[in-house]
């Protein structure tokens, strides 16, 4: 239904027949904050997405319309500038990057819509950039690889949109595969698809509906602490280049006596990397319960060692630990706000959502949103 409505809306706004591209949102099954230390991550593309429809123009102008905001915007290819509208920056930034990479593109019309909930930390910005990039590559027959698209989308966010980020969101949006998680080594860029067989369970997101304005600065501080810990290790073992190469014995010897808080942050990264590798093996062996336990452990580490959780996220995880039909749960994302991820028995999902929603509202007098999601493919041309 959404495809037909997008096609109709595009024709209404631009009087053209478009091509339509879908780019998924993403979650991490396990593995938070490990990417910036060249560790492992395990992202999954999910079945909520951003949709971009495009057509060529006969001039060098860009005409945009965002359904979610009810806003239009126009620009010239020869004069692309950052604006106050984030959604515009992600689109113009991709056009800017494509030209900087040496690709020739002409003017285009672009309509954007989607069903990614705002404020959920599900990487909607990466989905916009990847959808735009893929659509323009198709529209202008550009011979770029999937990895090129990841890099272009990442550089769009870092450069034009002014957002400091890694490449995990974009990688999941492009390389996602239905029925699988991606085990990605952030240092080598080697990746492997890990079958995610839920066998009667489903993935449920619970959105706290809070927005912590200082989450970026807090995350920057934590990363700086990890860099300090690495520097102390490198001062004694020069061949070490990242925390992914450090073990607990090294931390105990070179970091613990200097700063216990730095030690705890680094310890979380090392243990989280170990959990990711273990979780991948659990999935390969069909041990979903083992994965769930790793998720609970990951949340405990994020709360106690990395210290990026908050009262509401902790409540949503702690409240489900005793439920026999929940295998695991943890906070997702940078921390302090956003969603938790739970693995819930399919036949108990309605009961689960009703119980936890009521408990959350009773505790905090705040609305809780829930989303049942499934794995999906990466960015795709659908029309």
Q: Residue 98: count other Cβ atoms within 10 Å of its Cβ.
A: 22
pLDDT in tens, 258-308: 999 999 999 999 999 999 999 999 999 999 999 999 999 999 999 999 999
Give the global pTM: 0.94
pLDDT given at position 119:
66
Which residue would you say has higher pLDDT here, 326 or 124?
326
Please name each of the domains of the chain with its CATH number.
2-197+377-381 (3.30.230.10)
Average of per-residue pLDDT across 338-347: 97
Q: Residue 260: count other Cβ atoms within 10 Å of its Cβ.
A: 10
Q: 3-class DSSP state for residue 226?
A: helix
- How many Å apart are CA 301 and CA 323, to the nearest integer? 21
Q: Annotated catalytic residue: which of 79, 86, 148, 169?
A: 169
Q: 3-class DSSP state for residue 237?
A: coil
Contact 111, 5 (CB under 8 A): no
Contact 243, 39 (CB under 8 A): yes
29 to 39, 118, 172, 194: CA distances (angstroms): 15, 20, 12, 11
- How many Å apart are CA 327 and CA 318, to the nearest integer? 13
Average of per-residue pLDDT across 178-191: 97
- How many Å apart are CA 64 and CA 82, to the nearest integer? 15
For the chain, percent of residues with pLDDT exceeding 90:
89
pLDDT given at position 212:
64
Q: Which residues pair with 75 in a beta bridge?
A: 62
Q: 3-class DSSP state for residue 225?
A: helix
Among the residue ranges 94-103, 152-161, 315-324, the one predicted with the least confidence is 152-161
pLDDT given at position 146:
97
pLDDT in tens, 226-258: 999 999 999 999 999 999 999 999 999 999 999
Say whether 369 is catalytic. Answer: no
Nearest to 376 by CA among 32, 39, 48: 48
- Pick the most confident of 116-130, 156-170, 174-188: 174-188
- How many Å apart are CA 85 and CA 105, to the nearest integer? 23
Q: What string of DSSP letters covers 178-189?
A: TTEEEEEETTT-
pLDDT in tens, 361-382: 999 999 999 999 999 999 999 9
- How many Å apart are CA 117 and CA 237, to the nearest integer? 46
pLDDT above 70: residue 24:
yes
């Amino acid at each position: 239904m959404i495809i037909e409505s997008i096609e109709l809306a595009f024709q209404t706004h631009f009087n053209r027949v478009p091509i339509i591209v879908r780019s998924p949102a993403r979650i991490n099954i396990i593995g938070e904050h490990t990417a910036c230390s060249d560790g492992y991550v395990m992202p999954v593309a999910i079945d909520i997405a951003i949709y971009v429809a495009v057509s060529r123009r006969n001039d060098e102008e860009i005409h945009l319309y965002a359904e979610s905001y009810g806003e239009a915007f126009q620009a010239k290819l020869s004069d692309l500038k950052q604006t106050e509208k984030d959604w515009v920056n992600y689109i113009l930034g991709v056009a800017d990057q494509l030209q900087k990479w040496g690709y020739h593109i002409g003017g285009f019309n672009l309509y954007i819509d989607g069903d990614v909930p705002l404020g959920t930390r599900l990487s909607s910005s990466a989905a916009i950039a990847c959808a735009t990039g893929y659509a323009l590559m198709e529209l202008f027959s550009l011979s770029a690889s999937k990895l090129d698209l990841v890099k272009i989308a990442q550089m769009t966010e870092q450069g034009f949109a002014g957002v400091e980020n890694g490449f995990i969101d974009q990688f999941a949006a492009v390389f996602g595969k239905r029925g699988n998680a991606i085990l990605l080594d952030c240092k080598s860029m080697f990746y492997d698809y890990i079958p995610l067989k839920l066998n009667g369970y489903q993935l449920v997101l619970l959105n706290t509906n809070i927005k912590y304005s200082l989450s970026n600065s807090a995350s920057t501080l934590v990363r700086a602490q990890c860099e300090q810990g690495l520097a102390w290790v490198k001062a004694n073992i020069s061949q070490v280049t990242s925390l992914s190469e450090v073990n607990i014995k090294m931390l105990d010897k070179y970091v613990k006596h200097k700063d216990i808080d730095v030690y705890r942050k680094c310890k979380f990264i090392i243990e989280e990397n170990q959990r990711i590798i273990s979780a991948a093996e659990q999935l390969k062996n069909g041990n979903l319960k083992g994965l769930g336990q790793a998720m609970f452990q990951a949340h405990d580490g994020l709360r106690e060692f990395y210290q990026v959780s908050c009262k509401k996220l902790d409540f949503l995880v702690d409240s489900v630990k005793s439920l026999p039909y929940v295998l695991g749960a943890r906070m997702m994302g940078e921390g302090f706000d956003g969603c938790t991820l739970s693995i819930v028995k399919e036949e108990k999902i309605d009961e689960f959502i009703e119980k936890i929603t009521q408990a959350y509202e009773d505790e905090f007098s705040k609305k809780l949103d829930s989303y049942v999601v499934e794995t999906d493919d990466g960015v795709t041309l659908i029309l």
